[in-house]
């Protein structure tokens, strides 16, 4: 039967042993006074929230090149156009009170979206993108009913367990989640023919479950001076607080959003080096830096764990650039270092299923310790080191910070600004006095799951 109201989106699922491991860690915090009384910190509430998109969409701009008024006007025009297409009430663009280069759009859930009879089944990644405002593109489509003809209003369903056979022409009867309605720009007959398209938009979303808008051209390209970025990711660059003329290292820089933000905060003066260990990702990073127009930023193909000994040899001209870099950098060269570490991604939302294994989860923590050790060695005396992840796992967050304070020489936790998150999760090896110095973003409070720690190095 077709549902008359918004279906409750299922909580994010984890493999049983991963769920049990996290449940045990979170249970250690029960009853601690630093935990929000509303229970938003609990694993149950966290997983429920990870099944939903963040409550706000955030877009940053370069405040040195664009006034807040002009940035707001440009984004509001894009949002108004999308609201008209998606049959939604107007959404208001506002300047973030804590950051003068970030715009915020509130994206509440919408009542009364009834699934259209003609179904289109899509993969999980595609469905989660739809919940955050994207349209449906060819790679994500798994099945379309015969009634899903060009121009027809269709309902969009996520195949939760990856059980849908590609090309399905009937109603999908296994576990699925409704994510919105749209208009088919290509019908089943044309899409599933032998030489059917492998790219391009197939469904234009017109009735999303959440009041989100499609802003794909703002992803890293900085069209009209605007760039789509999650709120905690914007906070990270401000916590690092890079100043014009300084030397700054982004140790794990791909895909490049935080790196270009850092360049903007530096007013594109000084030196900004971004490392990426994957060759393809490094090339993509260089493209993003080039598209941003930055003249102080360099993308380097290098594994940050090897950087203290290998960096000087790899700092030839930037990928795709002819500008010269210094032949070598002394040890402890950089005024500020950001380590936005590779992680489990357990804080990303919306997410129906995260298939990470317990072995891999432990492996990330081991690698993060290696990265943090290397990053610390590259910070100049008196400099700043910021560590962040998009994970909810204490093993990758509070436990890493506790390990660093006990193991790495000459580092101390210091207060952060802006502080928009919550204190760290207690019971994870980090002393209570340090919990207010780290920021943990709980998904139940409307953002992706995220963690930030800031160190001063001597």
DSSP state of 221: S
Closest residue by Cα to residue 441 from 431, 429, 449, 433: 449
The Cβ of residue 333 has, within 10 Å, a number of other Cβ atoms equal to 20
207 forms bridges with which residues in the sheet? 181
Q: What is residue 109's DSSP assignment?
A: B
- Find, among 443, 448, 434, the residue nearest to 403 by Cα: 434
* Rounded CA separation 451/440 (Å): 5
Q: Where are the beta strands (DSSP E) in 307-352?
A: 334-340
H or E element that contains 192: none
Quick one: 297 exposed, middle or buried, by C-beta within 10 A (0-12, 13-18, 19+)? Answer: buried
Contact 414, 437 (CB under 8 A): yes
Tokens of 120: 């289109």
Which tokens in the block code for residue 223?
Answer: 């069209």
Q: Which residue do the tokens 């357990």 mark? A: 346
Residue with tokens 């506002």: 94
Query: Annotated catalytic, 390?
Result: yes
Cis peptide before 350 (omega within 30 of 0): yes
Task: Count CB atoms within 10 A of the CB of residue 245.
Answer: 12
| Catalytic pick among 164, 227, 390, 457 | 390
Identify the CA nearest to 25 among candidates 46, 55, 50. Answer: 46
CB burial of residue 387 (10 Å; 0-12, 13-18, 19+): buried
Burial class of residue 326 (count of CB atoms within 10 Å of its CB; 0-12, 13-18, 19+): exposed
CA dihedral sign of residues 181, 186, 189, 190 = negative
Joined together, the tokens standing for residue 427 give 């019971």
Three-state DSSP class for residue 349: coil
Give Rg (Cα) of the chain. 23
Task: Identify the bridge partners of residue 95 per DSSP, sorted by sequence position.
Answer: 103
Q: Are 71 and 103 in contact (CB under 8 A)?
A: yes
Residues in the chain: 458
Catalytic center residues: 390
């Amino acid at each position: 039967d077709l549902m008359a109201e918004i279906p409750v989106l299922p909580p994010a699922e984890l493999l049983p042993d991963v769920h049990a491991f996290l449940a045990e860690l979170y249970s250690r915090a029960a009853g601690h006074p630093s935990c929000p009384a509303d229970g938003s910190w609990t694993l149950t509430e966290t997983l429920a929230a990870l099944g939903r998109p963040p409550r706000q969409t955030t877009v940053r701009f370069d405040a040195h090149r664009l006034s807040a008024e002009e940035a707001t006007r440009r984004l509001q025009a894009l949002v108004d156009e999308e609201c008209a297409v998606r049959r939604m009430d107007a959404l208001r663009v506002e300047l973030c009170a804590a950051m003068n280069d970030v715009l915020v759009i509130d994206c509440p859930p919408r009542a009364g979206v009834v699934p259209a009879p003609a179904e289109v089944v899509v993969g999980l990644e595609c469905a989660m993108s739809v919940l955050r405002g994207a349209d449906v593109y060819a790679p994500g489509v798994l099945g379309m009913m015969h009634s899903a003809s060009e121009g027809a209003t269709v309902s969009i369903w996520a195949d939760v367990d990856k059980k849908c056979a590609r090309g399905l022409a009937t109603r999908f009867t296994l576990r699925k989640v409704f994510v919105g309605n749209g208009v088919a720009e290509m019908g089943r007959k044309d899409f599933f023919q032998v030489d059917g398209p492998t790219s391009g938009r197939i469904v234009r979303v017109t009735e999303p479950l959440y009041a989100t808008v499609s802003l794909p051209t703002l992803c890293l390209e900085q069209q009209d001076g605007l760039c789509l970025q999650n709120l905690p990711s914007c906070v990270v660059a401000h916590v690092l607080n890079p100043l014009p003329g300084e030397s700054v290292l982004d140790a794990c820089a791909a895909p490049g959003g935080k790196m270009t933000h850092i360049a903007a905060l530096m007013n594109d003066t000084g030196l900004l080096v971004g490392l990426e260990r994957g060759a393809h990702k490094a090339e993509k990073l260089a493209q993003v830096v080039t598209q941003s127009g930055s003249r102080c930023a360099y993308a380097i193909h290098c594994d940050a764990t090897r950087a203290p000994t290998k960096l000087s040899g790899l700092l030839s001209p930037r990928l795709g650039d002819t500008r010269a870099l210094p032949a070598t950098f002394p040890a402890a060269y950089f005024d500020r270092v950001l380590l936005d570490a590779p992680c489990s991604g357990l804080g990303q939302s919306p997410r129906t299923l995260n298939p990470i294994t317990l072995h891999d989860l432990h492996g990330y923590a081991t690698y993060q310790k290696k990265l943090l050790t290397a990053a610390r060695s590259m910070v100049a005396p008196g400099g700043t080191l910021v560590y962040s992840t998009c994970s909810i796992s204490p093993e990758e967050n509070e436990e890493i910070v506790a390990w660093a304070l006990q193991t790495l020489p000459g580092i101390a936790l210091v207060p952060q600004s802006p502080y928009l998150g919550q204190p760290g999760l207690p019971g994870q090896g980090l002393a209570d006095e340090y919990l207010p110095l780290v920021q943990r973003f709980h998904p139940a409070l409307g953002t992706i799951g995220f963690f930030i720690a800031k160190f001063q190095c001597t």
